[in-house]
Amino acid sequence: MNFREKIAETVKERNSRIVLALDLPPEKPYNALLSKALQILDETQEYICAVKINRQLILPLGLFGETQKIISAAKDYKLPLIMDCKINDVGHTNQIIAKYYFEAGFDAVTANPFVGWEEGLKPVFEIAHKNGKGVILLVYMSHKGASEGYGQTVMDVRTGDMTFQYRAFARKAVEWNADGAIVGATYPQKIAEVKQIIENKVPIYSPGVGLQGGKIEEAIKAGADYLIVGRSITLAKNAAETAKKIRDAINCA
C-alpha cells in the first residue's frame, strides 16, 4: 500500500482522523524522553490514525538510534509515520534527506514548496512515489507569523496574475500530486480557500488545535481531513482520555 492507502485504512479501523504530533519538550536524561514518547503512543494508539515526529525528538534520540524504538512501536500498532522535516533545500540534498527518513521507517515527509519543483522537490516526489511513500506540502502554517511568508502576495509566473502565496502552493499540491497539504487549524478561512482549489484531490492536514487556538469544529467544517494534535494530548494528565475526547469531537463536527 502507498501512504494514502495506509492512512485511509487506519482511519477506517480506528474511526479517527487524529495525527498525533509526538513532539515532546526537552527532557534529560534522553532515555526519559524515549520512555515518555513510548508511553504516550501506547496509551493513545487506539484513538489516532497516524504519528508525526519532528526534529525536536529526532535530534536527541538519533534517527537510527533510539528513535527506532518509537518507529517500531508505531509499526506494531499499524500506524503510519510522518516525518515533519520540512524539506527545504536543493534537489540532490532533498533527495538524500528523504532517502534517510524513508530508510529509517517513515511513510511520509513534509516539504516546503518555496524551493520549487525543478532541482527542488521533484527528486523528493520521485523517490517517495517510487517507493509508495508520501510527501505532504506546507501550504499555510499555524503560527502567527505565517502571513509573512505564506500569506504574501506574489505573481504567478505562468499567467502574470497576482495571487496569495498559499493559493499558489495549493495549486502546486495538485499539480505535483502531493499526498497532503498542511493548512493551520488556526486559520479556518484559509482551509476553506485551499479546499476550493484542491477539492478532494489532496487531503488537508491541519495543525494548531488546542494550545495554539484552533477549534476542532471550525477546522473540520472548513474542510480539514485530518487534525494534527500535539501538546493538547502529550501534555495532558490523561493522554488516552484526551485523545478519545478529541476523536469523538472530530467525528461529531
DSSP E strand stretches across 59-212: 81-87, 108-111, 134-140, 153-155, 162-164, 180-183, 204-207
Q: Shortest CA distance to 135 belongs to which of 169, 168, 184?
A: 169
Q: From CA 216, how far away is CA 234, in angstroms rounded?
A: 17
Question: Alpha-carbon distance 125 to 115, whole Å?
Answer: 13
- C-alpha to C-alpha distance for 189 and 123, rounded to whole angstroms: 32
CA angle 132, 137, 140 (to 5 degrees): 160
17 Ramachandran zone, left/alpha/beta (phi>0; psi -120 to 50): alpha
Residue 122 annotated among the catalytic residues of the structure: no
Q: Checking phi first, is residue 213 left (phi over 0); if not, alpha (psi -120 to 50) or beta?
A: left
Number of H helices, E strands in the chain: 11, 10
CA dist 48 and 36 (Å) reads: 17
Report the run of H or E that residue 108 belongs to, with start and end.
strand 108-111
Choosing from 69, 75, 86, 172, the catalytic residue is 86
Catalytically annotated residues:
86
